[in-house]
Amino acid sequence: MLLKSLSLISVILIGVGGASATNDKKEKLLNAIESNLPHALKTLQKSVNINSGTMNFEGVKAVGDLYQRELDDIGFQTQWIDGSVFNRAGHLVAEYGTKGPKILMIGHLDTVFSQEDAFQSAENLSNDLIKAPGITDMKGGDVIIIETVRALKAAGVLDDVSIRIVMTGDEEASGKPLAKSKKAIIDAAIWADIALGFEDGDSNIKTAVIARRGSVNWSLDVVGRPAHSSQIFTDNVGYGAILESARILNSFREELSVIENLTFNPGRIAGGTRINEDNATATSTAFGKSNVVSKTLRVTGGIRALSPEQLADAKAKMQSIVAASLPHTSATLAFEEGYPPMAPTQANKQLLALYSAASKELGYGDVTAVKPRQAGAADISFAADHVDMALDGLGLMGSGGHTKEEIADMTSFKKNIQKAALLILKLSEK
């Protein structure tokens, strides 16, 4: 992709070379972050105590309202984008500024914890550890976004950049069609020069994300010729659906598992004489007898790739394997819409270098790139192809994401607000 603004690369190279932010602005940033830290912690506590499982539309909207009030107070123009057309709560979008580099900051409001889940509120484990639903994935990152722009406003930097914040309500379970559910992010990315994501990455404060693998679901439907099992392998009966699926899946394993950064996973399988599926609950049931050759089988799974080219190559290999059917069997492999890859571009590496320089300037040491195998899919992937450069994993660090042991390391909270604010200050200084 041609750079929208070649000067951005120059800014980054100058920043890494040693042109630091002015001491006055930097001091104002750090003072503002420190003075507002108690309020930031209260906002975080309020938000994690609101259940916002993806399908709890009222809860997702309530978290959006909480953050919207904070951004309104800072001076952003905010709006709630209703999600009824893609069967989700919606998204919060906020804008500020008309000059300087255009920066997209990405968060999400929803969590994996439903209204029925037992894990509903925060628990202080120590001064530095808080257990709470969605605290690292990613309400901590959302509050880091808010406090970063608040500090930029206090230091007089916010008027030197253009910011658009998109906090989606369906990152954990995307609404469909994706063209509608991801439109707010894609439109903002088309507008922006730079995208910053505030997920927790691999929960290591010494790393950030310059590449994410795409994630696409697939389904395999296999049909065989039913007959008495005594006739299996004969010219008239063949091998049945279950043995054909075993051939296909093992061939997938042999051909795909050796490709670096590519993984595929069959997550659910059911086969026999007849099967029933309930997609709403991700369950399958099957009827079959040991003396009957299987008639039908269905496998559902996912595949993750580092680039569009790698994904296309893997899809072609899989389809070729499926087409080489055993006698009297047939199979159909279908791929759904999914998360595109975020490729590890040179510009992303340069943005990471500037973020690392900010970290070192603050006394926190180098920040290096997360290995792509350790970073899951995230909303920034929908933005990455539309901006000059992208960086993710700038949020609140911790452990146990997506489990009832989701615990935030609060020592990373202030540090990552400071680092993000100083990064944007550096980007503003042309």
Alpha-carbon distance of 357 to 426, in angstroms, equals 10
Per-position pLDDT tens, the chain of length 430: 444 544 555 555 544 444 444 789 999 999 999 999 999 999 999 999 999 999 999 999 999 999 999 999 999 999 999 999 999 999 999 999 999 999 999 999 999 999 999 999 999 998 899 999 999 999 999 999 999 999 999 999 999 999 999 999 999 999 999 999 999 999 999 999 999 999 998 999 999 999 999 999 999 999 999 999 999 999 999 999 999 999 999 999 999 999 999 999 999 999 999 999 998 788 999 999 999 999 999 999 999 999 889 999 999 999 999 999 999 999 999 999 999 999 899 999 999 999 999 999 999 999 999 998 887 789 999 999 999 999 999 999 999 999 999 999 999 999 999 999 999 999 998 6
pLDDT at 281: 83
* Beta strands at 407-409 and 398-399: parallel, antiparallel or unpaired: antiparallel
Q: Which pair of tokens denotes residue 114?
A: 């439903």
Q: Which of 286, 218, 205, 211 is nearest to 256 (CA)?
A: 218
pLDDT at 373: 84
Alpha-carbon distance of 251 to 76, in angstroms, equals 54
Q: Phi, psi (5° rounding) for residue 390?
A: -145, 150
- Residue 156 sits at the vertex; the CA angle it makes with 409 and 186, to the nearest 5 degrees, is 65
Peptide bond into 101 cis (omega under 30): no
Amino acid at 211: A
Q: How far is CA 310 from CA 236, 257, 346, in A?
A: 39, 13, 18
Q: Label residues 82-111 b or e (16+ Cβ within 10 Å = b).
A: ebeebebbbbbbbbbbeebbbbbbbbbbbb
- Residue 48 sits at the vertex; the CA angle it makes with 46 and 52, to the nearest 5 degrees, is 115
Alpha-carbon distance of 70 to 42, in angstroms, equals 12
List, in sequence order, the alpha helices (H) in 158-261: 178-181, 183-191, 240-256
Specify whether the backbone of 134 is left (phi greater than 0), alpha (psi in -120 to 50) or beta. left
pLDDT at 5: 47
- Residue 276's Cα: distance from chain center in Å? 31
Alpha-carbon distance of 314 to 338, in angstroms, equals 15
All structural domains of the chain: 6-212+342-428 (3.40.630.10), 215-339 (3.30.70.360)
* Beta strands at 102-108 and 162-168: parallel, antiparallel or unpaired: parallel
* 376: CB partners within 8 A, 6+ apart: 212, 213, 215
Whether residue 114 contacts residue 56, with contact meaning beta carbons closer than 8 Å, is answered with: yes
Alpha-carbon distance of 302 to 249, in angstroms, equals 13
DSSP 136: I
Q: Which of 143, 121, 152, 69 is nearest to 395 (CA)?
A: 143
pLDDT at 407: 97
Q: Is 106 helix (H, G, I), strand (E, B) or coil?
A: strand
For the chain, the first-to-last Cα distance in angstroms comes to 22
Alpha-carbon distance of 174 to 192, in angstroms, equals 23
Whether residue 107 contacts residue 66, with contact meaning beta carbons closer than 8 Å, is answered with: no
Q: Which of 112, 134, 83 is nearest to 395 (CA)?
A: 134
Q: Label residues 68-80 b or e (16+ Cβ within 10 Å = b).
A: bebbeebebebee
Q: Which pair of tokens denotes residue 300?
A: 């559902």
Amino acid at 218: W
pLDDT at 18: 46
pLDDT at 207: 97
Alpha-carbon distance of 295 to 107, in angstroms, equals 46
